Amino acid sequence: MRKILIIGIGSGNPEHMTVQAINALNQADVLFIPTKGAKKTELAEVRRDICARYVTRNDSRTVEFAVPVRRTEGVSYDGSVDDWHQQIAAIYERLLADELGEEGTGAFLVWGDPMLYDSTIRIVERVKARGQVAFDYDVIPGITSLQALCASHRIPLNLVGKPVEITTGRRLHESFPGRSQTSAVMLDGEQAFQRIDDPDAEIYWGAYLGTPDEIVISGRLAEVKDRILETRAAAREKMGWIMDIYLLRKGADFEE
């Protein structure tokens, strides 16, 4: 039976690779590398670099495939994502059928960690449910952008004895600051932090974490949010794309 390895490769630094992930790469007969258009060539390049650095077997090969663009106009968010996942599942099914022998092992190199705001596992499950290609799969965890963010800012993720909520920009208003003293925000294309009006809120923001282009800014939200917005816009204009994440915090480890 075919075997699939879903491998977390970290947030951009090839040295984020764990020993387990490196060993998994060398189990694969075929390494699948997604490409996301000319503006995001760096993402594919990091994957290629990782393969060049760590794959030691000389009989494996890489297969690159294009990821379709998610349609956003005229459809709900959930409907848009569902349709997008269906398209990618069809691509995965074709790759497994055409590029992998019945006893072969293939690997998908996943940015960050496959368990945190990534849909590779969901998409692979869709392919499995369709029943057209028989396979099993394993998941290898990776360093997340959230870990990289905290490391770059030299901060712990949580306040002592207090919870952390991980959310998206679309839902930030539900959690911070009313429900959570610490909110980690991913997938925020609208920079929802600019709508938070709390003089005690602090922000720890980072973009392109783990890469040579990494940018980090921190401070009182009211004091640095304009600088973050300007820096983000300039970086996106220069690079043609941006991946960023931030942590919002209010309070202290030990309240008086």
- The pLDDT assigned to 209 comes to 94
The alpha carbon of residue 32 and the mean position of all alpha carbons in its chain are separated, in whole angstroms, by 17
Question: Residue with structure tokens 């870990």?
Answer: 147
- The pLDDT assigned to 44 comes to 84
Quote the pTM value. 0.90
Give residue 256's pLDDT band: very low, low, confident or very high (50, 70, 90).
low
CATH class, domain 2-143, is alpha beta
> 146-249, what's its fold?
3.30.950
Query: What is the mean pLDDT of the segment spanning 176-200?
Result: 93
3-state secondary structure 64-100: EEECCCCCCCCCCHHHHHHHHHHHHHHHHHHHHHHHC
- The pLDDT assigned to 234 comes to 97
CATH 3.40.1010.10 range(s) for the chain read 2-143
Judging by DSSP bridges, how do beta strands 105-110 and 30-35 pair with one another? parallel
CATH 3.30.950.10 range(s) for the chain read 146-249
Query: What phi-psi label fits residue 156: left (phi over 0), alpha (psi between -120 and 50 degrees) or beta?
Result: beta
pLDDT digits (tens, 9 = 90+) for 77-112: 888 888 899 999 999 999 999 999 999 999 999 999
